[in-house]
Structure 1
Amino acid sequence: MITVIISVLVMILLSLFRVNVVLAILAAGVTAGLMSGLGLNDALDLLITGMGGQAETALSYILLGVFAMMIGYSGITGVLVSSLVRVLKGKRGFLIMVIAAAACLSQNVIPVHIAFIPILIPPLLKLFDEMSIDRRAVASALTFGLKAPYVMLPVGFGFIFHNTIAQEMAASGMEVAVNDIWKAMFIPGLGMIAGLLIAVFVTYRNPRKLEAEHKASTDPSGYQDTGGSPFTIKHTFTILAVLAALIIQIGMDSLIFGALTGIILMFIFRVVPFRHGDDMVNDGVKLMGMIAFVMLIASGFANVLEETRAVDDMVSNAVNAAGGANVMTAAIMLLAGLVVTMGIGTSFGTIPILAALFVPFCMSVGFSPLATVALIGTAGAMGDAGSPASDSTLGPTSGLNADGRHHHIWDTCVPTFLHYNIPLFLFGLIAAVIL
């Protein structure tokens, strides 16, 4: 139990002290290995072995970065931003809520998950600056859209999440219909809605000015004050490439093939001259390479926790320390899920672990099936928002830090942790008690 808590605290504290997140996660992984009785070399070997678990995601991030650079090169983003400046000038809250709605669509209606962020957000950064929008509010909106839909609704990624809960509970001896999962998860989801509204209209509602200096070499926005520049044939080809990438991604269920399709079409349509290919790839790696590598290291850390059985031991001890079916028991179980998900960095990967240990205990103390669903689902979702290793935070940072002025920990992780994990905990407790 101590192994998980200490290693996750190492990751969090080093990150809060602005140690690079790669080094923070690496230190946490080594700490977990050493505390589990492994030697230094064995701990590193286990971490390195586990890095392959996110190789596909990391490659997807890199290719999406290249595609984003090509879209910026086309100039269509400048036209888009100029139009938005005229339409949404002074409407900060409305723009942020539109971004949250777009992020929600990425989970259910058009299930592209984080793929839209490096394409949509970097072109808007100058607009955010012109409107003095606090990027922490935008980060909160994006994370809400990446999480709340799958928590609340059994559609798209939500169906996968809810189906995973139902299957893992059934495997542990408690049957619940997939179509009933939303009845338990809707209440914690309301907590996330409350967190979003507080973040956008209370905590980060005031204008925020950032320093004027930015890294032009990594700015893919392509934004210029076009003053109503005409829509050209290259812009049409760019839209076609984006649509083709989306269709291929959904049809083949692969971010990699989707991004590659878009990149190839941008060359074929000569939106980007072939001689600029090296520049596009280099700038794409600069844009997304750090995020991709964080995903690899995080996968290694998760592998150390799982292979040493530190996670199982922690959750088992937490459950055994709890009493009967009461508020204190539910709180202990939710906090255990928070720590585990902060370390592993994925709600979907945490559910099987929690279900195997929570279900027998919930059956023995008298929690109802829906209350058990609320505990497992909320415990799995907690920590995803706010974790330095989660794609729910890495995704927003990949777009908002395109110009080098958005800090992953203090501008994404801390705001999303405070505004979503706290209401998830409170509303999850309510659901466990009343269901």
Structure 2
Amino acid sequence: MNAVVLTISLMIMLCLLQTPVAIALITAALIGGLHSGLEITDAIAAFNDSLLIGSQVGITYIMIGAFAVALARSGLLDLLAHRIALRLDLREGATNKGIKWVIFLTFIAASVMSQNLVPVHIAFIPILIPPLLGVMNKLHVDRRAVACILACSISASYLLLPTGFGAIYLNEILLANVNDVGQAYGLTATASMVPKAMFLPVMGILLGMCVAVFYTYRKPREYQTVPLTDLQVEKSPITLNLTQCLSTLVALAVALICQLKFDSLLVGAMIGFIILSFTGIFRWREQDDVFTEGLRMMAQIAVIITIASGFSGVLNATGEIAPLVAATADMIGGNMALGAALMLLVGLFITIGFGDSFASVPILASIYVPLALTLGFSPMATIALLGAAAALGDAGSPASTITLGATAGLNADGQHDHIKDSVLPTFSHANFGMLVFAWAASMLL
């Protein structure tokens, strides 16, 4: 068996058996490395050598977490949760459907802004959702539907809108790799082609979200009653002064500008945190507590991202990613329809292992671009195939920041399982629709 197939399959199996994700990643990586012929010392070395990249990302997420906690101290999220709680009709038989849709639309808007306008990625989830869990329990909202809303909205945002994280994925990674590899084949793609090529695949993701909300998880689901604490409707209304509002808006704007100017989320989040410290959103002596709270909130995600980087390093060290893709090419022959389907499925499998669509593009581009052009696919169809193949699985991998972020927020009261309630629902709804629509896009473009 191909070592990559074995490694990823073993990782998925261990996660389904409720093994901690970090343990599943390390175990599967070492067994896969041994199966490929690596010595145990070489497998460990390959794992350790790749941890640096993941740790850099992990530190960035910790800083983003601290910034998110500092933003929460402004009171904006408390005010939002309190206003929603005030509208909740607690009388017997009340459906409160309007409140439910307000919450869903709030999650969608926050997900989009977190990728394109205020690039804090998934750090908003552990801040925004826990205060609303009490209200969601009263409404009997199935949290699996919320996990799908978050995963699909976040994925659709960076795959379609070319700002923030979208600019990084669409222009700096996807477009750059297509042009770099395609240059030898006379292919030149432009920035305007990329969102058009990704439109249909993204529509597949949004269709999956609609299926989850309106069909799969539409029925009420019971959760244990959780005290509303800060959301008690009898509590005096929360008010914000003008200084708090202006300081928060300035911090968000400067953080965004710095992130774009220096191409660094770490720097943007740090400067935003410093601004909130100086403007009195929280007391000066509370800085360490706020930072520690952000560290604690994002620690699990940062650790798993770091370990996932080592996992991908072992996958690369096996040398069996290229043979896997080459074997796929041999199966295709000259059949474009079969070729598109197999390329998407192999991309799905590889991205589940990497847990990161951004890291999957360079791996797939060197083989997918020549293969697609040889089969006769147009430049836009080639972009759609590569962009979708690399993103498939991102919203359903146990090690994905998207699923980890959803669990971090929805499991704040211990009633949401990472694999059963985040990974499996998001995998089935975000990826199946995208798989079908991406295949259709490759045939039509």
2:130 and 2:267 map into 1 onto residues whose CA distance is: 22
Look up the SS of the partner of 1:103 in the other structure.
helix
Select the residue among 116, 124, 127 that pairs with 2:132. Answer: 124
Equivalent residue for 2:206? 193
Report how far residue 273 of structure 1 moved.
4.2
Distance 1:190 1:70, change over 3 A: closer
Distance 1:265 1:169, change over 3 A: closer
TM-score, L = length of structure 1: 0.89
Equivalences for 1:275-286 in 2 at 5 Å? 276=286, 279-286=289-296
Equivalent residue for 2:177? 168
| Structure 1 counterpart of 2:180, one-letter code | A
Identity percentage of aligned residues: 38
In structure 1, runs of 5+ residues without a counterpart are none
2:246 and 2:264 map into 1 onto residues whose CA distance is: 20
Query: Is the 1:371–1:432 contact (alpha carbons within 8 Å) kept by the matching residues of 2?
Result: yes
| Structure 2 counterpart of 1:58, one-letter code | G
1:213 and 1:129 map into 2 onto residues whose CA distance is: 8
2:370 and 2:206 map into 1 onto residues whose CA distance is: 31
Report how far residue 198 of structure 1 moved.
0.7
Look up the SS of the partner of 2:415 in the other structure.
coil
Select the residue among 436, 439, 443 that pairs with 1:429. Answer: 439
| 1:315-344 superposed Cα distances (whole Å, 9 cap, x missing partner) | 122122222133222211111101111111
Query: Is the 1:338–1:380 contact (alpha carbons within 8 Å) kept by the matching residues of 2?
Result: yes
1:381 and 1:51 map into 2 onto residues whose CA distance is: 22
| 1:260-315 superposed Cα distances (whole Å, 9 cap, x missing partner) | 34544555455544555555444433322111101110111111112333322221
Select the residue among 375, 385, 391 that pairs with 2:385. Answer: 375
Report how far residue 130 of structure 1 moved.
2.8
Equivalent residue for 1:177? 190
What is the root-mean-square deviation of aligned Cα atoms in Å? 2.8
Distance 1:162 1:270, change over 3 A: closer
| 2:59 corresponds to 1:59 | yes
Query: Is the 2:137–2:225 contact (alpha carbons within 8 Å) kept by the matching residues of 1?
Result: no
1:349 and 1:315 map into 2 onto residues whose CA distance is: 16
Number of equivalenced pairs? 429
| 2:331 corresponds to 1:324 | no
Equivalent residue for 2:315? 305
Equivalent residue for 2:357? 347
Equivalent residue for 1:4? 4
| 1:378-422 superposed Cα distances (whole Å, 9 cap, x missing partner) | 111111110111222222223223333322222211111000111
1:70 and 1:408 map into 2 onto residues whose CA distance is: 26
Equivalent residue for 2:91? none
| Structure 1 counterpart of 2:210, one-letter code | L
Identify the range of structure 1 (127-136 vs 249-258) with the bigger mean alpha-carbon deviation: 249-258
1:239 and 1:209 map into 2 onto residues whose CA distance is: 40
Select the residue among 240, 243, 253 that pairs with 2:247. Answer: 240
TM-score, L = length of structure 2: 0.87
1:73 and 1:365 map into 2 onto residues whose CA distance is: 55
In structure 2, runs of 5+ residues without a counterpart are 89-95
| 2:301 corresponds to 1:291 | yes
Equivalences for 1:62-141 in 2 at 5 Å? 62-70=62-70, 76-87=76-87, 89-91=96-98, 92-141=100-149
Distance 1:68 1:158, change over 3 A: closer
1:10 and 1:213 map into 2 onto residues whose CA distance is: 37
